[in-house]
Amino acid sequence: MSGSSADMLLVPDTSFISWTTVYAWRISTFNTGIFNHRKISDKYDKVFQTGCQIPDTTQPRANATFVVLARNKELEGVIESIKSVERHFNHWYHYPYTFLNDGDFNQTFMDTIRNHTSSPVEFGKIDPSMWGFPEWADKSWAKEGIARQGDDAIMYGGMESYHHMCRFYSGFFYKHELLQKYDWYWRVEPEIKYYCDITYDPFVKMIEHNKTYGFTIAVKELKETVPNIFRYASAYKRMNNLTSKGLWEMFVDRPEEDEDFMPETDIRKKPPYTLDPAKLEPGQHPFIDPEAMEGEAYNMCHFWSNFEIARLDWFRSKEYEEFFQMMDRSGGFWMERWGDAPIHSLAAGALLGVSDIHYFRDIGYRHTTIAHCPANAPARQLDREPYLHPGTHDKKKQLEEDDYWATPDKTKENGVGCRCTCDTDVPEVEVKQGSCMIEWVHVAGGWASP
């Protein structure tokens, strides 16, 4: 489960109609059904591999790992994910897996996972200092805030464990002892699905192109989950005299309305949690003026972090740690339902440039009801070799699993995928309301083709 409620957001909602004329244009573009086949400018970023290649397994691997946060009860969903990762990528490249749990993994879970991959696997327990309420927090205050979100029917807002998970992925996963030896990570969630073969090494390509963070889906968050998050992110940027490197604008909506004429109920009028600077504890950050966001407002866009490939030294940097500490001390992980997706995204917006980001447009991916599946690249397809997953012991089922992928979708103009077979029960995220593709295209240099 990712630190975002985007799967609920991506449905028709009349509240979208009042947004900018750009959004009206976007809707008309969506309705054409061709949005996801247009080429994006390669001014700052470009697809690493268009179509297929023969996997080159002779080259050195990156110092990288898959990271899976899961509990024993999620075993079936984890198996589903591992089988997909192995089929479409890792049976060639054999990158290790790191499994993390706030409890203890049982022997059944560990044995089953090892049965489904030939790659090295490690299992770790999350220290209580990384999971749960921090020592400096008023636990009764935090629990009350979570309970209120449950009463208000905010998506996942009443689930204490969800808040812990979001905070862990925002500011702690990269500090876990099992990850200290790695430079890169690829996040894997239970119950995810890859649609295309990935016949190159994304880690190596990220290094070669000097990238820091990679995504495959960008969507909008539910406003009620993060009403004050942008206030603190904007304040961090302002207090540290940071100038945008071009990415911040992806997450900014400059409302046409003058703030003086906003209704008092507008979320941008609400004060943050810490109202009295005299009540700040040592190490806490100062009061943030609710009227001092330089006319900017959060457009709710974020990189959907349940898939991300990123440099761990960025998360470990002094700048990111200071960003996280400011966000953490605000209380937003408890009094609101801040997810790690907007935290990672706003940090990237403040600290990174567009050229530091890579859109894995060629990687087809699905989690819950949101999916990105590219068209297959013309004249760039190669015959597929059968892959019988070793963890599936029934021979007939092995053949059935493999047969599903035997006939990829047809190629299309401007397609970039390799042997993709897309689901037909969910639409392409690039053409759904709530997508942030146009915001990415805007900062990335625009369209390269009609």
Q: Are 194 and 89 in contact (CB under 8 A)?
A: yes
Burial 171-201 (b: 16+ CB within 10 A, else e): bbbbbbebbeebebbbbbbbbbbbbbbbbbb
Catalytic residue check, 281 = no
Look at residues 181, 169, 188, 62 and name the one whose alpha carbon lies nearest to residue 116: 188
In sequence order, what E strands does 299-364 have?
301-303, 309-311, 357-359
- Provide the 3-class DSSP secondary structure of residue 64: strand
Quote the CA–CA distance of 179 and 194 in Å, as a whole number: 24
The greatest distance separating any two alpha carbons of the chain, rounded to the nearest whole angstrom, comes to: 69
Q: Are 299 and 252 in contact (CB under 8 A)?
A: yes
Q: Which of 308, 428, 430, 439 is catalytic?
A: 308
Residue in the block written with tokens 């500090």 = 175
Quote the CA–CA distance of 413 and 411 in Å, as a whole number: 7
Look at residues 307, 296, 419, 410 and name the one whose alpha carbon lies nearest to residue 358: 307
Residue 23 sits at the vertex; the CA angle it makes with 292 and 266, to the nearest 5 degrees, is: 35
The answer for 282, left when phi > 0, alpha when psi is -120 to 50, beta otherwise, is: beta
Query: What is the chain's Cα-based Rg?
Result: 22
Residue 374 sits at the vertex; the CA angle it makes with 388 and 298, to the nearest 5 degrees, is: 125
If one counts every other C-beta atom within 10 angstroms of the C-beta of residue 152, the result is 10
Residue 213: in which H helix or E strand, if any?
A: strand 213-215
Catalytic residues: 308
